[in-house]
Each structure stands twice: as C-alpha cells, then as structure tokens.
C-alpha cells in the first residue's frame, strides 16, 4: 500500500502521514520506521520496505522529503544505493515490488504538477492514496481553526477564528501553536473570543513580537537577537521595541510582587484585571527569573531609554542589541551604563 501526502500545507501533510501510520501500526520500532529521505541512503529505504513485519500485520515505512531530495535524478542509471534520493523508475519499482504487508507513506512539501516522480506514482496500478494539501485560505482556513479547537476540547467564536486565520495566513504550524496558547488563555469552558486573538496573536508579518519576550524568558540570547533583528528589519522602530519590552517586564514584575505577598490566584487575577489564562502564562514566565533579576531588568530598560534619547542614531541598534542580550542573559545593567554613559548637560 502506498500513501503520498504533499503540498504547501506541510502541517496537514505531516498530520495525515502520522494518522495513517497509527492506523496500521503502533510506534514500536518493530511496527514502524521513520526515515529522512533527504539524508537516508536509498538502499536503507529499500531495505526497510522489504522487511517482513514482526508482531504486527504490517510494516510501516514513513519517509519524509524523499521526492524533494530526488528531484535531480533523471534516470534509473543514476541511482546509487549509498546516496539519498532515487529516480522515478526506482521509486515506482519499490512501490510495486514491496511485500503486501508493507505500508509506504511518503510526506512531502510542495511538488510541481509536472514532477516526474509524482506522475510516475499516480500512474501506478496498485492500492494507493495520493493527496495534495494546499494552503487553506479564507473561510476554509477559519473552518479548520474551529474544527481544530473543538478537537482539542475548546470552542472559539466565529469572529475570533476569522481573525486568527487573517493574522496567520501561511503555514498552519504557528496557527496550531496559537490555538494552544489561546485555549490556555481562555481557560476551561470559556470560548476563545476575538479580543483574546487581538491581544495574544500578532500578525505574521510582524515577526510575532511575543517571540522576543519568550526568548528572553528561556534565556536564549541568540534567538532573542534574531527575532529583534527580524522585527527591526521589518520596520519596527527602537521605541516600539522598548515599549513592548517594558510591558512584558511590567507584567512579570506585577505577578512576582503578588506572589511574594502570597496573594491567592483568584484575588491576584481580580486585582490585576487579567483573565485566568493570561495570569497563568505570565506567572510561568515570571518563574524563570531568580530573586533580584526583574529589578535589574527594569534598570536595563531605564538605561536603554536614556541612551536612545541621548545618543546618535548610528548607535541605536547597538543599544537595543545590548538591551536584549542583557535581558536574556540576565546580565548586569551597569555594563550597559558603562557602554552608553549619559552625556553631561
């Protein structure tokens, strides 16, 4: 049996491949194998497909990226079992000649309609399913969001699903992550509202500014700097970045202060005016900061603000770089002050 799932929507292609594999076998090594078609030698894939099942009625072989890695192969004479990829003839020969107990599942990204591998597999007279997974747009994308939220045990308002589809219009991977975040934000039994999407999900073209704060929380300075550069290359100015960081540090500090006062969660939520989802998310982030680190973060923000207001424009990016690095590395703000002393008036 042959399955091929491919298309721009790699999220759905991978989900279909995983669901199909689970239908034929469990995740044990004996029942299923996963191979990277761009890295595994062709001979290894052939061998896996010819293994007879052990303690299972089927041998599942799930291969990702094989056709993409095979795009330069033009004839069977070019096949080399020691290298990744295969010609269309070799691939169809494997699908046709594998034991009946073998289930070969191919998952691919976008494929050209003229792909010789795709045409050769489509022409095979064997049990098969070939399914294209185009990027969902418009109403179809919003419908998918509603169905996916329901599958995960929640509900979402139609207006919220439409806005989420508009803000994250490309891959479904960030949409899936946003759904998890929004479900946590809304809390059990509460529908995800449009206001929650407006607050928690920034448009894709904005490089998702929340990723900057998240990278700082997990102390990943390299990732934080990469996101910062993406934001600024996209047109965000230094003052906007600083304002966003001030807001995140303020939230973390408020949550820390209430925790130090041992204020119960319900009372803290009421005092802050947040919903339970936001309070839990901020509290988890706040917990990554050791005693005294949040006050130092505030000092770093003050120093950066003073530096941006008093120093020449060619230093502004460097000021933001140092600020983000200091926040993520939990560094000493006085190092920043030494680099960017306030000019005497």
d(CA 193, CA 200): 11
Percent of the chain at pLDDT exceeding 70: 93
Least confident of 126-130, 234-238, 247-251, 290-294: 234-238
Percent of the chain at pLDDT exceeding 90: 45
d(CA 286, CA 186): 19
Given a cut of 70, is residue 66 above it in pLDDT?
yes
pLDDT of residue 144: 95
d(CA 133, CA 138): 15
> Average model confidence (pLDDT) for the chain?
87
d(CA 272, CA 261): 14
Over residues 271-320, the pLDDT tens digits come to: 887 767 678 888 888 999 998 999 999 999 999 999 988 877 778 899 99
CATH 3.40.50.300, domain 2-132, yes or no: yes
Q: Identify which of 54-58, 112-116, 139-143 has the greatest average pLDDT.
A: 139-143
CATH 1.10.8.60 spans which residues of the chain? 138-206
The mean pLDDT of 65-84, rounded to a whole number, is 72
Given a cut of 90, is residue 213 above it in pLDDT?
no
The mean pLDDT of 20-47, rounded to a whole number, is 82
CATH 1.20.272.10 spans which residues of the chain? 210-339
Given a cut of 50, is residue 345 above it in pLDDT?
no
The full DSSP string for 63-91 is EESHHHHTTT--SGGG--TTSS---HHHH
User: Which residues fall within 8 angstroms of residue 237, CB to CB, at 6 or more apart?
Assistant: none
- Architecture of 210-339 per CATH? Up-down Bundle (1.20)
Listed residue (216, 215, 177, 182) closest to 199, CA to CA: 182
Given a cut of 60, is residue 83 above it in pLDDT?
yes
More confident call, 13 vs 344? 13
pLDDT of residue 325: 95
pLDDT of residue 154: 94
Cα–Cα distances in angstroms (integers) from residue 55 to residues 2, 25, 62, 68, 104, in the given order: 21, 10, 18, 33, 18
Give phi and psi for 62, each to the nearest 5.
-110, 120
Per-residue pLDDT band at 26 (split at 50, 70, 90): low
Count the neighbouring beta carbons within 10 Å of the beta carbon of residue 3: 21
Class of domain 138-206: mainly alpha
Quick one: angle between helices 276-286 and 265-272, nearest 10? 100
Per-residue pLDDT band at 129 (split at 50, 70, 90): very high
Given a cut of 80, is residue 261 above it in pLDDT?
yes
pLDDT of residue 207: 47
Given a cut of 50, is residue 322 above it in pLDDT?
yes
More confident call, 239 vs 103? 103
| Residues 121/130, Cβ–Cβ less than 8 Å | yes
Over residues 171-192, the pLDDT tens digits come to: 788 788 889 889 988 888 899 9
| Residues 300/323, Cβ–Cβ less than 8 Å | yes
| Residues 33/158, Cβ–Cβ less than 8 Å | no
pLDDT of residue 202: 72
Q: In what order do the strands lie in the sheet with 128-132?
A: 32-36, 59-64, 102-107, 2-6, 128-132
The mean pLDDT of 242-263, rounded to a whole number, is 89
User: Which residues fall within 8 angstroms of residue 74, CB to CB, at 6 or more apart?
Assistant: 87
CATH 3.40.50.300 spans which residues of the chain? 2-132
């Amino acid at each position: 049996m042959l399955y091929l799932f491919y298309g721009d929507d790699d999220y759905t292609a991978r989900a279909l491949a995983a669901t199909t594999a689970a239908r034929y076998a469990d995740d044990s090594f004996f029942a299923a194998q996963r191979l990277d078609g761009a890295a595994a030698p062709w001979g290894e894939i052939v061998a896996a497909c010819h293994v007879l099942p052990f303690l299972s009625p089927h041998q599942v072989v799930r291969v990702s990226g094989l056709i993409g890695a095979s795009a330069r192969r033009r004839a069977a004479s070019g096949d080399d079992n020691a290298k990744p990829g295969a010609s269309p003839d070799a691939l169809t020969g494997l699908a046709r000649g594998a034991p009946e107990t073998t289930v070969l599942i191919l998952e691919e990204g976008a494929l050209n309609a003229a792909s010789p591998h795709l045409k050769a597999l489509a022409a095979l007279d064997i049990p098969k399913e070939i399914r294209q997974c185009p990027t969902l747009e418009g109403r179809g994308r919003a419908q998918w969001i509603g169905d996916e939220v329901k599958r995960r045990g929640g509900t979402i308002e139609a207006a919220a699903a439409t806005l989420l589809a508009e803000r994250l219009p490309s891959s479904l991977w960030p949409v899936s992550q946003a759904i998890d975040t929004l479900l946590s934000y809304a809390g059990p039994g509460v529908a995800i509202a449009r206001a929650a999407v407006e607050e928690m999900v920034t448009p894709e073209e904005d490089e998702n500014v929340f990723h900057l704060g998240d990278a700082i929380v997990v102390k990943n300075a390299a990732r934080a700097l990469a996101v910062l550069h993406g934001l600024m290359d996209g047109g965000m100015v230094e003052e906007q970045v600083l304002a966003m960081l001030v807001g995140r540090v303020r939230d973390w500090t408020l949550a820390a202060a209430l925790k130090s006062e041992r204020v119960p969660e319900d009372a803290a939520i009421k005092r802050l005016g947040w919903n339970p989802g936001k309070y839990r998310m901020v509290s988890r982030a706040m917990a990554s900061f050791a005693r005294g680190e949040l006050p130092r973060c505030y000092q770093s923000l003050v120093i950066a603000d003073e530096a941006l207001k008093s120093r020449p424009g060619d230093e502004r990016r460097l000021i933001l770089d140092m600020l983000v690095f200091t926040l993520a590395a939990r560094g000493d703000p006085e190092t920043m002050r030494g680099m960017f002393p306030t000019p005497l008036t």
